[in-house]
Every structure is written in structure tokens, then in C-alpha cells.
């Protein structure tokens, strides 16, 4: 199973006596673990015990699992770092009597839930204990999400939150936040609170609510420059200053935006399609889509001028020829006063 499928089961309170969460995506493991705590013991720490299997043998864990809870009807036992499921041993190489775990898997008790966590990329599928666990337990493979899978994951989460999101907003999220799952989930929850159940998240709403990252702010800065709106450009820069963003880093982000514009414009002149540009430049499709919408406002000569101004500002800041904040504001003025010709 994947993350979403196990979440759906837990939402329905379809509980199993045994769980195995494995993989390298710590966000998924943490979220599932928290969800399991809430559903099984309602976050009651008196009925929760956590072990580190690099320090505690599995037979001690099973002994606890088989002991009746002192409080409540059910307890949750979490066993971290199950390196015995991999081809490599853990740091401290504790000797585990795995036959005790094997026996327990065939007949688990109904008053305890055992969660075994293996935060590793791969398990050793040749091992008997791995095969048994995968057969008897509810398993969640918590692997890292690839960029091409990101939209599917976001759509699944949006469905859970009972909101609709336009394709344009999905593109914004993919481009600006990428695979930062903690931030993505936070933004989607924010959208759901704003639009309510059954609500639609549009580009206008996303622009209003989306937390400003350095990447998204560089897009806004580039937009202000393209609109020749110096006041807005300075305002965005001042906001970034408060967030401790360095002017040199912002020059680099702006340079990326205008470099993409220039390269897209040149490829368009050669007859490249949008899909071909994505492959050629290795950029996100949404980034290319935006560049195609913007490049017509500028000549190749103007874009070369922007790149030269950015390079000069970068050099000036790094050599200490002018205070960085002053140099950046001067750069914005030079970019804005230049039209697209």
C-alpha cells in the first residue's frame, strides 16, 4: 500500500494488529505514525511505548506487546529502526531473537497494536522475517515522491480535504514548492480552510494565500519588472529583506527567470514546441508555460541587456563596490526603466 491508502483505512478506523512503515520519506512516516496514535489511543501517552530496535531486542518489545494494558482497552507499541529487515545491521547490532517475532506474527493479541518502522530505502526481501511481516502486517511503503508523481499525490490529498484545485494552481505548487511535502500539505490545508468543503482554489486565491518562498518571490519580482512597476518591485524586495533573503541570492533567482525567458525565446524562434523546450531545458512544464506567456514582451536584445545588468550587479555586490541593498535597488531601477525593445 501507499501512504494515502493507509490514511484512508485509518480515517475509517479500520485497524490492524500489526503495521510496518518503511521507506526514506520521513514526512509520510511521521504523518502515519501521528494518525495511528490519534485513532488507536487518542494520543494517550499512558498507553504508548516507543522502542529503538538499535538498543532494545525485539523479544523485549514482544513481551511488552503481550502484556495487558494497565489503562484503557488498547495500547500502541512503536518499534523504530528495524534494521534486521535490511541487508545491513544497525549501528549497535543488537542480537534479536527473530523467531519470537515470527511466532507472534502468526497469532497477534487483540489488545495491543504493534507498529514497526524501518526508515530505509530497501528491505531484504530474501529474509524470512521480511516476507512474514509483509504478509501479516498492514504495510505502508513511504518512499520519496518523484516530481512526476507530485500532482497525483496532491490530487489525492485535495480529494481527502474535499476541495477542487485548478490545473494552474497545481502548476504553481509544483513549480514553487516542488517536493517539500511538509509545506505542500500545509498549503493545501490552508486552501481548504479558506474555500471550505467543495470549494474551488483558483490562481487568484492561491496568489493571496500561498506562502512566499524565494522561488515564488523571484517570480513576483520578475513580474513587477516586466510590468515596469518599480514601487511593487521595491515592496516585494523589502518583504524579502524582512525574511533575511540575501540580495546576491535574489540576483541569482532573477537571473534564472530572465535566462529562462531568453532561452525559451531563442528556442521558439527555432520552432521548438513547449514539450521539446521542457526536455531541452530540463525545467518544470509550468516554468516553460509562464516563460512562453512572457517572452513576447521582450526582444532578444532587451533580455541580453537584463542578463548583463544582473551580472554586473552580482559582481559589484561580491566585490564590495556598493552596499548590497543599495546595489539591488539600483538594479531594479535599471531593469524597470528599460522597456522590452
CA dist., res. 177 & res. 184, Å (int):
7
The alpha carbon of 93 is separated from its chain's Cα centroid by a whole number of angstroms, namely 33
Which cell numbers in the block locate residue 193?
Answer: 480552510
Alpha helices in 12-126 (DSSP H): 26-41, 58-65, 98-106
- The per-residue pLDDT for 222 is 78
- The per-residue pLDDT for 91 is 59
How many domains is the chain built from? Answer: 3
CA dist., res. 141 & res. 127, Å (int):
17
- The per-residue pLDDT for 158 is 93
Say yes or no: 250 and 325 in one domain. yes
- The per-residue pLDDT for 225 is 82
Which residue, chain included where needed, has cell 494518525? 35
Does residue 43 surpass a pLDDT of 80? Answer: no
What pLDDT digit, counting tens, does each position of 57-105 carry? 999 999 999 999 887 789 999 999 999 999 876 556 789 999 999 999 9
Say yes or no: 318 and 195 in one domain. no
Does residue 252 surpass a pLDDT of 90? Answer: no
Tabulate helix, strand, coil % of the chain (nearest 5): 60, 10, 30
- The per-residue pLDDT for 218 is 66
Does residue 216 surpass a pLDDT of 80? Answer: no
pTM higher than 0.85: no
E-assigned strand segments in 97-178: 112-118, 138-141, 164-165
Which residue, chain included where needed, has cell 512474514? 132
Say yes or no: 123 and 67 in one domain. yes
* Percent share of the chain, pLDDT over 90: 46
Say yes or no: 155 and 179 in one domain. yes
DSSP letter at 322?
Answer: S
Which cell numbers in the block locate residue 68?
Answer: 495487558
Which cell numbers in the block locate residue 229?
Answer: 512597476
Give the DSSP H/E element, type plus range, for residue 128: helix 128-136
Does residue 220 surpass a pLDDT of 60? Answer: yes
Say yes or no: 301 and 315 in one domain. yes
Alpha helices in 13-97 (DSSP H): 26-41, 58-65
Strand partners, 200: 164
Strand partners, 77: 49, 114
Least confident of 145-149, 152-156, 286-290: 145-149
The mean of the pLDDT values for the chain is 88
Does residue 238 surpass a pLDDT of 90? Answer: no
Does residue 180 surpass a pLDDT of 80? Answer: no
Q: What is the CATH number of the domain that holds 301?
A: 1.20.272.10
pLDDT band at 340 (very low <50, low <70, confident <90, very high): low
Q: Please give the average per-residue pLDDT across 133-149, as a whole number.
A: 88
Say yes or no: 193 and 218 in one domain. no
Compute CA distances 313 → 74, 244, 318, 327, 338, whole Å: 64, 19, 9, 7, 16
pLDDT greater at residue 232 or residue 115:
115
Q: What is the CATH number of the domain that holds 19?
A: 3.40.50.300
CA dist., res. 70 & res. 72, Å (int):
7
Domain that holds residue 169: 147-209
Q: Please give the average per-residue pLDDT across 189-216, as a whole number.
A: 85
Say yes or no: 132 and 182 in one domain. no
Say yes or no: 89 and 137 in one domain. yes
Looking at 91, 108, 141, which one is the last position of a domain? 141
Say yes or no: 62 and 16 in one domain. yes
- The per-residue pLDDT for 184 is 87
What pLDDT digit, counting tens, does each position of 276-333 carry? 998 898 887 878 888 898 888 889 998 999 999 999 999 989 888 788 888 888 999 9
Say yes or no: 49 and 153 in one domain. no
Amino acid at each position: 500500500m501507499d501512504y494515502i491508502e493507509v490514511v484512508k483505512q485509518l480515517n475509517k478506523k479500520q485497524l490492524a494488529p500489526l503495521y510496518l512503515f518503511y521507506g526514506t520519506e520521513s514526512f509520510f512516516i511521521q504523518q502515519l505514525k501521528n494518525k495511528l496514535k490519534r485513532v488507536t489511543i487518542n494520543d494517550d501517552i499512558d498507553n504508548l511505548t516507543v522502542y529503538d530496535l538499535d538498543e532494545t531486542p525485539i523479544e523485549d518489545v514482544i513481551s511488552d506487546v503481550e502484556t495487558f494494558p494497565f489503562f484503557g482497552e488498547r495500547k500502541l507499541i512503536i518499534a523504530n529502526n528495524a534494521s534486521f529487515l535490511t541487508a545491513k545491521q544497525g549501528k549497535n547490532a543488537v542480537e534479536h531473537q527473530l523467531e519470537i517475532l515470527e511466532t507472534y506474527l502468526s497469532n497477534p493479541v487483540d489488545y495491543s497494536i504493534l507498529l514497526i518502522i524501518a526508515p530505509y530505502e530497501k528491505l531484504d526481501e530474501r529474509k524470512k522475517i521480511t516476507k512474514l511481516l509483509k504478509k501479516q502486517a498492514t504495510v505502508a511503503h513511504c518512499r520519496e515522491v518523484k516530481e512526476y508523481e507530485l500532482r497525483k499525490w496532491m490530487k489525492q490529498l485535495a480529494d481527502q480535504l474535499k476541495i477542487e484545485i485548478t490545473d494552474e494552481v497545481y502548476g504553481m505548487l509544483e513549480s514553487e514548492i516542488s517536493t517539500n511535502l511538509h509545506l505542500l500539505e500545509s498549503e493545501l490545508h490552508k486552501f481548504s480552510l479558506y474555500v471550505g468543503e467543495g470549494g474551488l482554489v483558483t490562481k487568484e486565491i492561491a496568489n493571496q494565500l500561498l506562502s512566499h518562498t524565494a522561488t515564488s518571490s523571484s517570480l513576483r519580482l520578475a513580474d513587477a519588472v516586466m510590468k515596469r512597476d518599480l514601487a511593487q518591485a521595491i515592496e516585494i524586495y523589502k518583504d524579502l529583506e524582512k525574511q533575511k533573503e540575501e540580495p546576491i541570492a535574489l540576483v541569482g533567482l532573477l537571473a534564472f527567470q530572465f535566462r529562462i525567458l531568453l532561452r525559451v525565446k531563442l528556442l521558439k524562434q527555432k520552432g521548438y514546441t513547449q514539450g521539446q523546450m521542457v526536455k531541452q531545458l530540463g525545467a518544470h512544464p509550468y516554468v516553460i508555460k509562464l516563460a512562453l506567456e512572457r517572452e513576447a514582451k521582450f526582444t532578444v536584445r532587451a533580455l541580453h541587456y537584463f542578463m548583463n545588468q544582473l551580472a554586473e550587479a552580482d559582481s559589484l555586490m561580491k566585490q564590495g563596490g556598493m552596499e548590497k541593498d543599495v546595489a539591488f535597488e539600483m538594479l531594479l531601477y535599471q531593469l524597470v526603466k528599460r522597456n522590452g525593445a
